[in-house]
Structure 1
Amino acid sequence: MVYVILKSGISSFLASLGFGFLFNIKGRNLWIAGVVGAIGGACYKVSLYLGCSEILSNFYGALGLALASEILARKCKTPVTTFLVCALIPLVPGGGMYRTMLAAIRGDAQNTLNMGLQTLSIAGVLALGILLVSTIMRVYYQEKRKYLSKK
């Protein structure tokens, strides 16, 4: 189990690092984007191992990488999207979209519908996880700022 999670974390790290390089992220931010991707990939694999569905596992992965992105972006004084976009790439359901299109081309309407709904559900929970963390962090930091300004 540890090997599978470690393998997933390393592959997500490398994929995020590669896309960070493609997006021209420099220096320490490039490595941080890779680490955030590894966190997302590891959260995904751990929740799959614990018996969650693929959709719920993607949600937990999105929560993990969004939370790490928010925290590390504030620490590094960098926009959140710098880390978030690169780290999200390994979780994007590109294979599901490919299989959906393949089933559509073959004329298999039932399989096209099933795979299409699964793929759209995964994309939706990725967006929902990011939105949830972003909203909670924004409210938290606004309240923190208000509290500290009253002192």
Structure 2
Amino acid sequence: MIIKSIYALFATLGFGVIFNIKGKNLIFASIGGFITWFLYLFSLEISSSNLIALFTASVAAGLYSEVFARILKAPVTIFSICSIIPLVPGGAMYYTMLESIQGNINKFLSTGLDALSSAGAIAAGILLASSITKLILVFNSKKRISSSR
């Protein structure tokens, strides 16, 4: 599991270079890919459900991105995009298109639904993490405003 996560770290590092991320932001974005893939593999062993593992890993990616964006004073998208790169169902999308071209409608629909549900689980996890962060920030700002009066 650790070796596969190290591969994800290097893959994320490569995407970070393509996205023109510089310095310590590149290092922390790559670490986000490592953590996300490790949590995905760990969740997959525990739950044996791909969607639950993707959702769990993407929530962790979203929380990681929000925290380190504030610590490093950088945009959240730098970390969130790089953190979810290992999770993106590229193979499922490729096989969906391949089955479409070959005319296998049943396999096309099956792999397409799999790719769509995987992407939806990732999006829902990032959305949940972002919403939790926004709620915490709003709650803390209202708390500071009411205590200063």
- The verdict on a shared fold, with TM-score over 0.5 as the criterion, is yes
What displacement does 1:19 show?
A: 0.8
User: 1:87-144 CA distances to partner (integer Å, 9 max, x unpaired)?
Assistant: 2111110000111111112221111111000000001111111011101100111101
The CA deviation at 1:52 is 3.0
Shift of 1:65: 0.8
How many percent of aligned residue pairs carry the same amino acid? 41
2:115 counterpart residue number: 119
| Partner Cα separation in structure 2 for residue 115 and residue 42 of structure 1 | 24
Q: CA deviation at 1:51?
A: 2.8
Selected match of 1:143 from 132, 139, 143: 139
Query: Aligned residues, how many?
Result: 147
Q: Root-mean-square deviation (CA), in Å?
A: 1.0
Which residue among 33, 38, 48 is the counterpart of 1:52? 48
- Letter of the structure 2 residue corresponding to residue 18 of structure 1: G
1:66 aligns with 2:56: no
Secondary structure (helix, strand or coil) at the match of 2:20 reads coil
Q: What is the TM-score when the length of structure 2 is the normalising length?
A: 0.94
Q: Which runs of 5+ in 1 are unaligned?
A: none
> Could you say which residue in structure 1 is the equivalent of 2:95?
99
Deviation, 1:8, is: 2.6
For structure 2, the residue ranges without an aligned partner over 5 or more in a row are: none
Partners of 2:114 and 2:85 in 1: how far apart?
18
- Amino acid of the residue matched to residue 106 of structure 1? Q
TM-aligned CA deviation for residue 150 of structure 1: 2.3
> Which one-letter code corresponds to 2:69 in the other structure?
A
